[in-house]
Structure 1
Amino acid sequence: MDSPEPPDALLAMHDVGKSFYGVSVLSNVDIDVYPGEVHAVVGENGAGKSTLMKIASGVHQPDSGSLRIAGEPVVLHNPREAQAAGVGIIHQEFNLLPERTVAENVFLGREPTRRGLVDRRAMRARTAELLASVGAETVRPTDRVGQLGVAQQQVVEIVKALSLDARILIMDEPTAALADHEVELLYALVRRLQARGIGILYVSHRLAEVFDLSSRITVLKDGRRVVTVDTADATPEALVRHMVGRELASYYPPKAGAPGAALVTLAGAGNGRLRPIDLELRSGEVLGVGGLQGSGRSALARALFGVESFTAGQMTLDGKPVRPRSPRQAVRAGIAYVTEDRKGEGLALSQSVLDNALLASRAATPRWFGGGARTTSVRALLAAVEVHAAGVDQEVRYLSGGNQQKVVLARWLAMAPRVLLFDEPTRGIDVGAKAAIHELIRDLADKGAAVLMISSELPELLGMSDRIVVMRDGALAGELPGDASEEAVLSLATGTPHEVPA
């Protein structure tokens, strides 16, 4: 008996090439996705993933090659044509109107009408059907989008795409802004979409979820397809080798030995977001901070940096009482803060690489004081942390995520801080750049700085931390050694019991 013919690919891209201003960003790329398949696309920043996805969704047109949808050749001149052909894209940064309801966002510009008026009842009913089809029980058609959580807003984006009869979904870093417990909701949603026969192109830097969800993985490097493999036949180590073109002996640098004395001490420190906290941050160590989103992790870093100051208890630095009431005071005390919102809070996107790297030192000291020497020093630091840019005058918005983060690091290194607070330091950064950031963080600790690092990625938290504290409901839930298990961290984060193996 003959085996059945395989189904046509929902989307097939063949020999695709694209250049901008004479610079090739994609060359001879082949990729396809089948009904009910999750096909992951991985690679470093600059590998060509975003350009490939924009071609598939009609934002860009290829210079060479061809596209087929369900076996039929297509030319997509714009996103509207891609939507009409059944291609939907879920961007990392959502495209929703926060003041409008879920139903109004889903049918924006396509509202059903009756006798010349918007038929709101029909719009809400159809939205309810779509929400039910993906199991979104916590979202209602009448909810205002701005009041929804990040995971719920992502559901709205997906339902919006499904309302256009999408057969192919492109998901670009879908978990970048999600907390750990929200990622499970996304997993369930992806599996429901698969069961409906929808093909998914899944772009992510997080290898764990790539292995959890995908059936095939394509690696891009320097605009070319390096390999496409069945997920069952792949290993993280092999993927990393394909992505960066070299072996990574370890994802994380060796940990330090015994830490030094306590640089920062908190005794009963709290504010409106934090309950009384007792904590020591020691020189020469990386103190990891775990917990679910909203547990108080970021609030702790912001309080230490004077953004939302402690209003109770005591904070000491080198044994002397200190309570920064503004970031400027914190910087002058030798404290640096790398925020989780790199683009919104960490960078002036329209300014140059050099101006961004000088922001902290200019704020802490008069502009006229040592300006020339300071600029020379910062230029050297940018080179030392290996920022790849067209030049220091290039606008920082055009850099990759990893290089943007290195600019932020160079800014604080110029201040020679003794205490560094990192909030999600590698979020949205490719594996090669992550390794470089990890090395920089460990090097700072090895040179005697006290480092506090918040991370939602448990492998990163465990791989980088000499000691771990876990927060829950604005308080410290407990402390663990750096070699603790993921289960132990989650147990403290969620307040559920954890049995330690005998």
Structure 2
Amino acid sequence: MEAVQSLGGGTVAAAGQAFTRESLIEASNVEKSYGATRVLRGVDFQVRSGEIHALLGGNGAGKSTLIRIVTGLTPRDAGEIRFSSAKANSIHPIIAVVHQELALLPELSVAENIGIVHARSGFSPSSHRRMRDVALNALDLIDPAIGREIVDLPARKLSLHEGQIVEIARALSTGAEVLLLDEPTANLTAGETAKLFSVLKRLVHDEGIGIVFVSHRMKEIRELCDVCTILRDGITVVNATPVASLSDAEIVLQMGQPAHDVAGRLKSKKEVRQGSPVEFLGPDDARMEIWPGTILGLAGAPAGPTGLINPVVGAGRGAGWHVYGEGFQGSFSSPLQATRAGVGYISGDRAMKGILSQLPIVDNVLAARRVREGRRTVGEAERQECLDLVSALKLKAGSIWDLPASLSGGNQQKLIVARWLGLPLRLVVLEEPTRGVDIGTKHDIYALIRQMADAGAIIVWWSTENVELLELCDAIFAFDTDGRPKGFLSEERFTEDGLAELTGMAA
């Protein structure tokens, strides 16, 4: 077979050989090791045109490594990858990737971040105009209103969900034949997700592109995907199988994840009020009195929850919200002040708000303790404390001196949770804490958060996953699509439909 292209190892066959007409990418028996660790041990994977393909597997199963190999960012050790483009005079289809962690240039505008992939050289005034037009056309595919609001803003001023929309729009603007989406809805509201899915289905139907969708949200997989491939421990265990032919339980089992019964089990069953409550006062006379041990959910468009969260964690005054109680006098001027007052903060945005990427695992785990106590060096007691926390969390790490980049996304998220365990916390703020982690890791995190609540902390939990809020929270406070407070979800309407009705967003 004639080799026409090399992608880091093995050969890439000429287009059209051993392909059905609709095949765009076909990977066979792909292997990859990092030192003694075998990440991929024989993966088969195929992407076809006109198909949305779910790539599933637990954290560390090899999904991200496979994506990096397919896109040429990482060389493979063995196996074969073959490409076929439907476009004339082209062998390799255009492949665009939207990663879970944002890759925007913070000082460039949204137009420049989208248009830069089309710019041949420099930024002349005319190219700026072209970039803006390209950006608006791409953003219009998802949400014309938000496109016109943000197109001229620098990327550093975007919220997480706005940044995710820009990433997706940039990928769509390339005219890709294959679109790889790694947890693309992690920062989107339900309404934005519905719009995105409509766009993706239209592109598949009208343009015949192939889409690879990586997600841990079963509801989304069911709603969007045609077929699925499941990886477990670096091996393909389910290959291009129709999603409709597999139950949720079968998918979870094939992923090697344990079955969990979360609903009810993690919710507080006691009504005993101990300690003193914390009072949140907000715009439009909004008021919440929350007692220690309560898990309070925040639901709705991001502007509402973030407006409450920011003054609580010392990240800004927010949209008129203040917090009062023992040790709380309105708002905190800095994260340091909040931390020393007993406020913990766990974000799902690991790259920007969580992981200290240039410091080893031990420094990441002990960061909050050092801030509270003014410590700078690692003593023997600290090393043992870190080892105990790593063991308790079942955090898969070679050494506590390794960098966080050596961990899977789920284990990085556990690391962020670990830094707050065992501390005398009065309030823990969670901002999408399970973003981009598999079902097993999610439930590990749920249990740890319940543990913090049982120890007397008030938990404030923002999530765009309504099911998650309904399963775990003792009470849910909702915001509408403009970020205005709407009040508590009533007990008789403690359902997805009730929450959708109160927030004005699809369930």
For 2:420, what is the secondary structure of its paired residue? helix
Pairing 1:133-172 to 2, within 5 Å after superposition = 134=141, 137-138=144-145, 139=147, 143-144=151-152, 146=154, 149-150=162-163, 152-162=165-175, 166-172=176-182
**Sequence identity, in percent?**
29
Residue 15 in structure 1 maps to residue 29 in structure 2: yes
Pairing 1:436-447 to 2, within 5 Å after superposition = 436-447=444-455
Pairing 1:9-408 to 2, within 5 Å after superposition = 9-70=23-84, 84-97=92-105, 99-100=108-109, 102=111, 105-106=114-115, 108=117, 110-111=119-120, 120=127, 123=130, 127=134, 131=138, 134=141, 137-138=144-145, 139=147, 143-144=151-152, 146=154, 149-150=162-163, 152-162=165-175, 166-195=176-205, 196-228=207-239, 229-250=241-262, 253-261=265-273, 265=277, 267=279, 269-270=281-282, 276-295=285-304, 297-308=305-316, 315-317=324-326, 324-367=332-375, 372-408=380-416
- The CA distance in 2 between the partners of 1:337 and 1:124, in whole Å, is 38
8 Å Cα contact 2:308/2:321 also seen in 1? no
Classify 1:264/1:161 alpha carbon distance in 2 versus 1 (closer, same or farther; 3 Å): farther
For 2:489, what is the secondary structure of its paired residue? strand
Whichever residue aligns with residue 108 of structure 2, its letter is E
8 Å Cα contact 1:39/1:216 also seen in 2? yes
Whichever residue aligns with residue 237 of structure 2, its letter is V
The CA RMSD over aligned residues, in Å, is 3.7
**1:248-269 Cα distance to aligned partner (Å, 9 max, x none):** 3447744221233265645573
- The CA distance in 2 between the partners of 1:87 and 1:156, in whole Å, is 14
Q: How many Å apart are 1:199 and its aligned residue?
A: 0.8
Whichever residue aligns with residue 166 of structure 2, its letter is Q
- The CA distance in 2 between the partners of 1:361 and 1:276, in whole Å, is 36
Task: State the aligned residue count.
Answer: 473
Unaligned runs of 5+ residues in structure 2 are 1-18
- The CA distance in 1 between the partners of 2:378 and 2:364, in whole Å, is 17
**1:7-33 Cα distance to aligned partner (Å, 9 max, x none):** 431221122222222422112211112
Classify 1:336/1:104 alpha carbon distance in 2 versus 1 (closer, same or farther; 3 Å): closer
Q: How many Å apart are 1:330 and its aligned residue?
A: 3.1
8 Å Cα contact 2:61/2:232 also seen in 1? yes
8 Å Cα contact 1:418/1:450 also seen in 2? yes
Whichever residue aligns with residue 494 of structure 1, its letter is G
Q: How many Å apart are 1:99 and its aligned residue?
A: 2.1
Classify 1:372/1:477 alpha carbon distance in 2 versus 1 (closer, same or farther; 3 Å): same
8 Å Cα contact 2:311/2:321 also seen in 1? no
- The CA distance in 2 between the partners of 1:24 and 1:122, in whole Å, is 48
Q: How many Å apart are 1:155 and its aligned residue?
A: 4.2
Classify 1:109/1:487 alpha carbon distance in 2 versus 1 (closer, same or farther; 3 Å): closer
8 Å Cα contact 1:26/1:223 also seen in 2? yes
Whichever residue aligns with residue 160 of structure 1, its letter is S
For 2:271, what is the secondary structure of its paired residue? coil
Q: What TM-score, normalized to structure 2?
A: 0.82
Whichever residue aligns with residue 342 of structure 2, its letter is G
Whichever residue aligns with residue 496 of structure 2, its letter is E
- The CA distance in 2 between the partners of 1:322 and 1:133, in whole Å, is 40
8 Å Cα contact 2:95/2:179 also seen in 1? yes
Query: Residue 494 of structure 1 is aligned with which of 484, 500, 504?
Result: 504
8 Å Cα contact 1:265/1:279 also seen in 2? no
- The CA distance in 2 between the partners of 1:170 and 1:219, in whole Å, is 16
